[in-house]
Chains A and B, each alone.
Chain A
Amino acid sequence: MVQVPTGSGPDQVSAAPRSARRAPIPRVGRERPTGSNFELYSWYFFRVSGLLLILLAVTHVVIMHVVNTVDEINYDFVVDRWNSPFWRGFDWLMLILALLHGLNGARIAVDDYVRPRGWRVFAHSVLWSAAIIFLIIGSIAIVTFNPEAVVTAGR
Chain B
Amino acid sequence: MQVHLRIQRFNPEVDSKPYYEDHEVEVEPTDRVLDALNKVKWFHDGTLTYRRSCAHGVCGSDAMRINGRNRLACKVLIRDVGTNITIEPLVGFRVIRDLVVDMEPFFNAYKSVLPFLINDDPAPTTERLQSPEDRERFDDTTKCILCACCTSSCPITWTNDEFVGPAAIVNAHRFIFDSRDQGAAERLAVLNQKSGVWRCRTVFNCTEACPRGIQVTRAIEEVKRTLLTGDVS
Contact = CB atoms under 8 A, between A and B. Distances in A.
* Physical interaction between A and B: yes
Interface stretch (A32-40, A71-79, A87-95): A32-40
Nearest to A37: B192
Given A34-B193, A37-B192, A43-B224, A28 B198 contact: no
B156 A112 contact: yes
Interface in A1-57: 18, 22, 25-31, 33-35, 37, 39-40, 42-44
B9 to A, nearest CB: 29
A113 B189 CA distance: 24
A14 to B, nearest CB: 9
Interface stretch (B23-31, B66-74, B126-134, B160-168): B160-168
B198 A43 contact: yes
B189 A25 contact: no
Interface stretch (B75-83, B91-99, B107-115): B107-115
Contacts of B109: 28
Given A18-B120, A39-B194, A29 B228 contact: no
Tell me if A's interface is mostly helix, strand, loop or mixed.
loop
A29 B114 contact: no
Nearest to A39: B198
Contacts of B156: 112
A28 B194 contact: no
B199 A28 contact: no
Contacts of B190: 28, 33
A26 B112 contact: yes
Contacts of B112: 25-28
Contacts of B227: 40
Contact of A25 (B111, B163, B194): B111
Interface in B162-195: 162-164, 168, 189-190, 192-195
A81 B227 CA distance: 42
Contacts of B120: 18
A115 interface: yes
Contacts of B114: 22, 25
Contact of B192 (A18, A27, A40, A115): A40
Contacts of A37: 192
B228 A44 contact: yes
Given A35-B189, A40-B227, A26 B195 contact: no
A56 to B, nearest CB: 23
Given A33-B189, A40-B228, A111-B194, A26 B111 contact: yes
B16 interface: no
Interface of A: 18, 22, 25-31, 33-35, 37, 39-40, 42-44, 108, 111-113, 115
Interface of B: 108-109, 111-112, 114, 118, 120, 156, 159-164, 168, 189-190, 192-195, 198-199, 201, 224, 227-228
Q: Which 3 A-B pairs have the closest CB atoms?
A: A29-B162, A39-B198, A26-B108
